[in-house]
Amino acid sequence: MATGTVAVSFEIMAPQANRVFLAGSFNGWKPAAVALAYSTGGRWTTKLSLPPGQHEYRFVVDGRWVADPFCTTCLPNPFGGLNSVVEVAAPA
């Protein structure tokens, strides 16, 4: 993990999905930059090292952009949808 960053886990339930990616402000919103790994029961997961601050993101499930259904903080995006938000605290 890079100095000054914090490990952040991302997870989505998508049992019927073939491919799931994570796009966000931390990777230039590139839809195929971060692939999630399939886990048991239809869970897809990944872990990133992010710097402190507010980061917006969405999942890309089989080409469809999806907000994180478990995220409690969202911001409107310019496409009429919502971006999920993760707030990363400075490492202790």
Higher-pLDDT residue of 53, 92: 53
CB 91 within 8 A of CB 6: yes
Q: Which CATH superfamily is domain 6-88 in?
A: Immunoglobulins (2.60.40.10)
What span, in angstroms and rounded, lies between the C-alpha atoms of 92 and 78? 35
Select from 6, 18, 8, 88 the least CA-distant residue to 60. 18
CB 69 within 8 A of CB 12: yes
User: Which pLDDT score is estimated for 2?
Assistant: 60
The 8-class DSSP code of residue 52 comes to: S
CB 74 within 8 A of CB 34: no
Residue pLDDT, tens place only, 28-87 = 999 999 999 999 899 999 999 999 999 999 999 999 999 999 999 999 999 999 999 999
Tokens matching residue 41? 């029961």
22: β partners: 34, 59
